[in-house]
Structure 1
Amino acid sequence: MNELAIDPASLAGYLASRGWRNEGTWRGAEVWQGADTRLLIPPQREYPDDDELLAEAVAKLAVLEDRPAEEILLDIAEPLVDTVDVRTQPDTPSGTIPLLSGVKAVDSICELLDTAARTVEEGPRLIFTGRRSGVVQDFLGSVRLGTSKPGSYIFTARVPVASRDVQASLFEEDDTDPFGRQVLVTMDKALRAAQTACTQVIRGTASFDIIEEYVDQGVSADLCEAVSGLAGHGVDRPFSIAVGWARGLDSPSGEAIEFSATMAGVLSQAAKQLRDLARVGTATITGVIEDLHYDDVEPPRIKIRGELQTSSSESLARAIWVVLSRRQYESIAPLHYQRATVRVRGRLTTTGRRLEMRPDRTGVEIIS
């Protein structure tokens, strides 16, 4: 350990951010009280044994937090860096991972951060298209991978809260979080929404299209693909994702987000289905009207749940929003309350946050 790298003030800030209490001084050193441990921290380097006290404090923290001392030193030295810990559980000895699964995990972490950054910049999207912007590219270029941690195989991404040229103004009155923090808040929210959606599918209370109900919370086909990639090369291993928030800013709270192998499979299939349907073109949906939408902002539409038939795949049980003219909507909307079966043939398109169908000339056919 490099004792000279330990700054007493930064170490004190680290302890305060993790719930330690300053309970005064003893022989010139500050006394910091944790749950069951006390640490002596010199307020500055003044005496020959100050470096020894600092090194001893970091060594004790490493034991208490079950983390390498080098990693704690990084967190002490970088108060404006958030971390993302991805704990994979490969079927290999702790501290190892199959090569193909490791490569896939790193790619998936990059795609996860890329998708969250694009969501911040472009707004929520069902499917992202086109190249990433210079802002997103620069953000990804600032992220660093740390060393693996004990416990299965843990990847750590260190995400700067903001670039150095704006860090000086972070503590001025400004209600807007810097870009790096916005990305991780968005990612955390989207991951929790994806976990909730998966739970509904697994319990049998929803089908794969439930993913589309969480687009406004940051869920997209891109995010689903990225998350499922963390389940190993065979998409068959559980994993968890935890965000460690930088102590230099007020931080959200929340436990690690756990994903089972089954959840990863749901996300993988949901993403594939969305991408396939976005390319399919013409399709037919037969079912009942599940929901209605009519306002002064967008064209009116109805949501039909039933059997979706395309020319390139087997029929799928799911729901599709069908965009109508105002006249069509006014004549069709009452069928929602009658639970009538209808059939619509048209072209599937992805428009920002939804997968939609626009009817062909035949319009909406009433079956029963």
Structure 2
Amino acid sequence: MSHANSLAEEGAAKVPDLAALANYLTGSGWVVEDTDSRTSMWRPRRAGSHDIRIVLPTSQRVRDYSDRIADALKALSFVERRLPEEIADDINFGGADKVAVRLTPDAPPGEAPLLLAHSAISAIKNFVVASAASLDSNSLVLPPRRPQRAEAYASQARLSTQPGSFILSLALPLADIYSDESDDSTPPGQDALVEVPPQPFGRKVTNRMLAATLKAQHLAEEVSVGNRPISSFGDLTPDAPNATELAALSSLGGPDHDIYHIRFAKSPLAGGAAEPALLRVTPGQQRILGEAADYLRTKQPRAGVTVTGLIVRLFREGGFGRGEAVIQGVSDDSGEARRYRVELGELDYNEAVRAHANGLQVTATGDLDIRGTRRSLRRLTSFAVIPGLEDES
């Protein structure tokens, strides 16, 4: 059995409704060639692409409806080089790409150690959020607060398991709740299937996940053979994976970094669909990707970090102008109590002096820069003294 087949074996997917399947055929490039009172015959719109036909009943009330739909899905599977259940999910979801991960635990088929399963599921969720967030954030280290659209999109994805090996299969909807094209009044699998835009948000996420995985593997191999240093992951080049994506790809194999395969299968409803891409991620690659994630998080500036704490040190040359303050506090990035240096303008510096004299807490937001053990907030977007009881009276 090939990796492609073993990665997502045929499962008990929900049998699509007849109207949904017909709309899917229309949206993915099929036309009705012939019809009568009992059946309709479909062929690919492009002549000569495939000498294959699909026959559908005209009613779902026929006794062998499930068998006929199964035959139709098998025919589509041959044409699209996707698995029948992937196509069924695509139809039932109203348009969805699939990302499947086949784990290789030392366990009976269909089972996995709890730590491995938990690590993989958490990693898949983080991978989706990070790739969705990267569409709006061109940074190697994402800000602590992920874009709401990225989090909302991840909540729309659906995770299932497949029989055989321990396979996690993720359905990624083509449209998200923020899409102008989406219509909440249209049930999944209905007319919206033929109105999917060429590059919906979900397809952009799938493309990003695939591109980031390919780039991460390439860089990991270059580092492994000594052609590049680990710092090459810090180059902001096209498709460069961010730290969260790297950490997710490193964690998919679990704590022991077991070999895993990841498969990307795109829906034809968004156009440009190609044969599924199957990638094998080795233990060595996973370890390097984990090291790269740590490297980025300690060496790259992080945007939008907020620190709250007490002023413990102040310094400026002269009695006026800009100055430096040190905040002993906790950041929303790590949750750890540390010292952070900030450069303040005259007005903010005077406020820092007042806070220090009265034991008041301050809050500052900016880009976190880490140099060894020195942490600084640069390019501040806000600085404020948190009022004390005396200020509220």
TM-score by length of 1: 0.62
Structure 2 counterpart of 1:251, one-letter code:
G
CA distance in structure 2 between the partners assigned to 1:224 and 1:112 by the alignment: 8
* CA positional deviation for 1:274: 2.9
1:57 correspondence with 2:92: no
Give the match for residue 116 of structure 1. 131
Of 117, 127, 144, which residue of structure 2 is paired with 1:130?
144
Judged with a 3 Å threshold, the aligned counterparts in structure 2 of structure 1 residues 210 and 152 are, in CA distance, closer, same or farther, namely farther
Does the aligned pair in 2 maintain the 1:21–1:33 contact within 8 Å?
yes
Of 4, 7, 10, which residue of structure 1 is paired with 2:20?
10
Deviates more, 1:89-98 or 1:74-83: 74-83
1:249 correspondence with 2:270: yes
Structure 2 counterpart of 1:86, one-letter code:
V
Does the aligned pair in 1 maintain the 2:196–2:269 contact within 8 Å?
no
Judged with a 3 Å threshold, the aligned counterparts in structure 2 of structure 1 residues 149 and 171 are, in CA distance, closer, same or farther, namely closer
Secondary structure of 1:122's counterpart equals coil
Give the match for residue 159 of structure 1. 172
Does the aligned pair in 1 maintain the 2:133–2:146 contact within 8 Å?
yes
Of 199, 202, 218, which residue of structure 1 is paired with 2:224?
202
CA distance in structure 1 between the partners assigned to 2:111 and 2:72 by the alignment: 26
1:84 correspondence with 2:99: yes
Does the aligned pair in 1 maintain the 2:181–2:197 contact within 8 Å?
no
Give the match for residue 29 of structure 1. 39
How many positions carry a matched residue from both structures? 278
Does the aligned pair in 1 maintain the 2:101–2:262 contact within 8 Å?
yes
Does the aligned pair in 2 maintain the 1:187–1:218 contact within 8 Å?
no
Which residues of 2 match residues 212-361 of structure 1 at below 5 A?
A: 212-213=234-235, 215-235=237-257, 237-253=258-274, 255-278=277-300, 347=371
Structure 2 counterpart of 1:262, one-letter code:
G
* CA positional deviation for 1:267: 0.5
Unpaired runs of 5+ in structure 1?
Answer: 280-345, 352-368
* CA positional deviation for 1:225: 0.6
Unpaired runs of 5+ in structure 2?
Answer: 1-10, 45-49, 184-191, 302-369, 377-393
* CA positional deviation for 1:121: 1.6
Structure 2 counterpart of 1:238, one-letter code:
I
* CA positional deviation for 1:101: 0.5
CA distance in structure 1 between the partners assigned to 2:12 and 2:167 by the alignment: 24
Does the aligned pair in 2 maintain the 1:126–1:212 contact within 8 Å?
yes
* CA positional deviation for 1:212: 2.4
Does the aligned pair in 2 maintain the 1:88–1:152 contact within 8 Å?
yes
* CA positional deviation for 1:276: 3.6
Judged with a 3 Å threshold, the aligned counterparts in structure 2 of structure 1 residues 350 and 197 are, in CA distance, closer, same or farther, namely farther
* CA positional deviation for 1:118: 1.1
Q: CA RMSD in A?
A: 4.1
CA distance in structure 2 between the partners assigned to 1:152 and 1:158 by the alignment: 18
Does the aligned pair in 1 maintain the 2:233–2:240 contact within 8 Å?
no
Deviations 1:202-253 (A, max 9, x none): 3332222222236531412211111010112212x11122222233211343
Deviates more, 1:54-63 or 1:240-249: 54-63
Deviations 1:40-78 (A, max 9, x none): 312x217x53x5144333167469789997765433323
Does the aligned pair in 1 maintain the 2:234–2:296 contact within 8 Å?
no
Structure 1 counterpart of 2:149, one-letter code:
V
Structure 2 counterpart of 1:156, one-letter code:
S
CA distance in structure 1 between the partners assigned to 2:232 and 2:283 by the alignment: 19
CA distance in structure 1 between the partners assigned to 2:195 and 2:15 by the alignment: 28
Give the match for residue 41 of structure 1. 56
CA distance in structure 1 between the partners assigned to 2:21 and 2:232 by the alignment: 46
